[in-house]
Chain A
Amino acid sequence: AQSVTQLGSHVSVSEGALVLLRCNYSSSVPPYLFWYVQYPNQGLQLLLKYTTGATLVKGINGFEAEFKKSETSFHLTKPSAHMSDAAEYFCAVTFMFSGGYNKLIFGAGTRLAVHP
């Protein structure tokens, strides 16, 4: 069965420090991978996605993630944290099912705190 694991439900960094949010997936077929960000009482906003091609993908707000098939990982990074990055981050994986719809499987989320 496909699943997504986000290591660390809470991560705290100093402003200006490296942000690293971890995501591992399990899948028997090639996955499509996504990172979403959620600010309080809002919906989810897409940060970046990996489908095929280049394994290092860049997203909005200075975030990037690298797909490592051998490690079944898709960790999210940002070189320098900003106060506005404080939010909850979700890793998600999808697979094509018959009938044409794609089912997103989400990790439990990681809440990022940024302190001065």
Chain B
Amino acid sequence: SQTIHQWPATLVQPVGSPLSLECTVEGTSNPNLYWYRQAAGRGLQLLFYSVGIGQISSEVPQNLSASRPQDRQFILSSKKLLLSDSGFYLCAWGDRGDQPQHFGDGTRLSIL
């Protein structure tokens, strides 16, 4: 069966520090991969998606970037974190077609 792993679960970072969040998927090949952010009390905002290695599309302009160095690895990064980057970050994978997306357990990011 397919599984998705995200780490770390929680992270506290100072303003201006770099960021790297990692997501890996097991049990499937060539999945679509997604990064979402969920601000407190709000819905989910799609940040990035990827349909293949090295293929990244950004949904909104921001201080973050994403990379997909391997088929089942998706990384969210920042060179300098802002206070507004605080939130709950979720990685998801999905097959093509009418299949749902499946989510990791998320990373709670707090910026001080």
Contacts and interface: CB of A to CB of B under 8 A. Distances in A.
B42 A108 contact: yes
A100 B98 contact: no
Question: Chain B interface secondary structure, helix, strand, loop or mixed?
Answer: strand
Given A42-B106, A44-B90, A102 B96 contact: yes
Interface stretch (B11-19, B43-51, B79-87): B43-51
Contacts of B43: 90, 106-109
A101 B32 contact: yes
B97 interface: yes
Interface residues on B, range: 20 to 34
A61 interface: no
Contacts of B32: 100-102
B103 interface: yes
Given A100-B51, A104-B46, A43 B100 contact: no
Contacts of B34: 104
Interface of B: 6, 32, 34, 42-44, 46, 49, 51, 88, 90, 92, 94, 96-106, 108
Interface of A: 32, 34, 36, 41-46, 49, 51-52, 90, 94, 96, 99-104, 106-109
